[in-house]
Amino acid sequence: MSTSTVNLNIRMDKDLKEELDALCKELGLTTSTAINIFAKAMVRKQALPFKLSLNKANKKALEAIQNVEEGKNLSRKFSSVPELMEDLNS
């Protein structure tokens, strides 16, 4: 690899840049160093260095979350932790 450097200009939301700069500073890095670490990891792995997903819950999980939020289809309610533990241990 060459030891010469080039400038890379990217567009980024102002607030995101400020948060990134602050985080990098806390980590003892410059933002440029952090972006170079990311680029080197991508080249080394020949992929993004993290899993990329939409992070969507499936239909069954969404229904379960909605049921809990609405207090529906639950086995029963407990008024205290000891009451719950007694039920679990029986």
Does pLDDT of 1 surpass 60?
A: no
Q: Is 10 exposed, middle or buried (0-12, 13-18, 19+ CB in 10 A)?
A: exposed
Q: Tens of pLDDT along 29-78? A: 999 999 999 999 999 999 999 887 777 778 888 888 888 888 888 777 78
pLDDT in tens, 3-24: 799 999 999 999 999 999 999 9
